[in-house]
Amino acid sequence: MTTTTSNSVNNSITIAPPNCLTFRTYKGTVFTVPQNSKFFVIKSYNILDVNASFTNNIWTSTELGNRRLDKAYQDLQVTGNPNIDGKIFLFFSVNSSGKFCGIAEMKSRIDYTKTSDIWVEQTRWKGIFPVEWLLIKDVPNRFFQHLKVPSNEFKPVTNSRDTQEIPFEIGISMLKIISSFRTNE
């Protein structure tokens, strides 16, 4: 059985079995969020790298960040079916921007043998991984201030560091906020 609920801005969110939430991408297609998915905040040094990621569908992080994301991705891959295994969702924010600017899904493990010349600081980053951009929207931090991260001293999610993992419930709340946000708010 599939249940559809409506929120205050007339977007519908469908709960599809087994325990998957569905949302619409910026292209209008549907993506699912399996129950055991993981969510991470990505803090970019500049918007140019985020734009390059959007254009080229790849991302990289610091050495520590890449290891953290790669391990999370590997830990979720049990059956080979992403709708069962879970997915990795990345909430992007540019340092000091005061907003989140989009959501992408990590599509595979990090390839540490590859680099890319698309980044502002080309020699700094080692390894890349493919991403699929799902939502591209500037949403001010004030819409997320009420979401506190227990593993970060209960600070708001807006105070998260790069590759900070956030709890499932907070990730879902962020998805709902970003997907229903209208630019005139």
Evaluate if pTM is beyond 0.75: yes
10 assigned to some structural domain? no
Residue 3 lies in a domain: no
Q: pLDDT tens digits, residue range 45-67? A: 999 999 999 999 999 999 999 99
- Report the domain count for the chain: 1
The pLDDT value given to residue 28: 86
Total Cβ atoms within 10 A of residue 156: 15
Question: Would residue 28 count as lying in a domain?
Answer: no
pLDDT under 50 in the chain at which residues?
1-17
Q: So what's the pLDDT on residue 20?
A: 67
pLDDT, residue 185, reads 55
- Which pLDDT value is given to residue 6? 41
pLDDT value, residue 151 = 94
**Structural domain harbouring 129:** 36-180
Q: Give me the pLDDT at residue 67, please.
A: 96
CATH, residue 153: 3.10.590.10
